[in-house]
Amino acid sequence: MQNSPQSPIIEASKLTKQFGAFTAVDAISFEVERGEIFGFLGANGAGKTTAMRMLTGLSRPTSGQARVAGIDVAAHPEKVKQRIGYMSQKFSLYEDLTVMENIRFYGGIYGLPRKQARQAGSQLIEQLGMEAFARKQVSGIPLGWRQKLSFSIALLHQPDVVFLDEPTGGVDPVTRRQFWEMIYQAAETGTTVFVTTHYMDEAEYCGRVSIMVDGQIAALDTPDRLKSEFQAANMHEVFLQLTRPKP
């Protein structure tokens, strides 16, 4: 029951999560196409992370359905996990392990054969230009490098979709730029990128953008069309118009 290349890689229909009386995600529906860079925007507490956790199988939806790579996430969370990569908001690397040890470990738990994991590891380090850090503990390397490394590790097992939760938070502009170049590279090789961000300039880089307000999707389209629809000069204004309290 694999989906055909034409069908969407992520399908959410009426996806809902309630914590007691509070509805964090309120029946959202959307689709993401294969190879797309999909921006997932929203103010703090709008429900972005909760929605993403449901898509990755970390959190069980209260109601509604999510399919990733054609698999029902709630029904087969472990199957989905083979097909996705994830980079969490918190540190996803072990600070007390070296760069190489982190790569080897994550390669291992995704079932990469030892030889392949080692090759992928050295290749990855070379690509990132991290040779100087390879034998250093992660706690001792700069944040920007760590984030690039986390991303590469999330791609190590060549997933269909990679979920990035605020990957560039607290990173300097130059590194952010480099990070986005990596995202484009991944998308070019056919990996779908699902990314949440705070930075509105980054929203411009996305193929399509959804903006969440109070648990619902308030707008979803390409950045250009959103800008013309809201008659705004940039995404920042679009965002402000949507999230500003209604009079």
Binding site residues, other proteins, CB under 8 A: 56-60, 77-79, 81-82, 84-86, 88, 90-97, 101, 104-111, 137, 163
Pick the closer one to other proteins by CB: 54 or 211.
54
Q: Name the residue nearer to other proteins (CB basis): 91 or 184.
A: 91
Q: Which is nearer to other proteins, 117 or 226 (CB)?
A: 117
- Supply the minimum distance, in Å, between the C-beta of residue 24 and other proteins: 13
For other proteins, the closer CB: 67 or 81: 81
CB 164 within 8 A of CB 8: no
Buried b (16+ CB within 10 A) or exposed e, 55-85: bbbbbebeebbbbbbbbebbeebeebbebbb
Q: Which is nearer to other proteins, 111 or 173 (CB)?
A: 111
CB of 111 to other proteins, least distance (A): 5
Residue environment code for 111-147, b if the CB has 16+ CB neighbours within 10 A, otherwise e: ebeeeebeebbeebbeebebeebbeeebeebeebbbb
49/67 Cα distance (integer angstroms) = 17
Closest separation in Å from C-beta 176 to other proteins? 22
What is the smallest separation between the CB atom of 116 and other proteins, expressed in angstroms? 12
**Of 157, 148, 6, 145, the residue nearest 70 (C-alpha):** 6
Integer Cα distance of 96 and 101 in angstroms:
10
Closest distance of CB 175 from other proteins, Å: 20
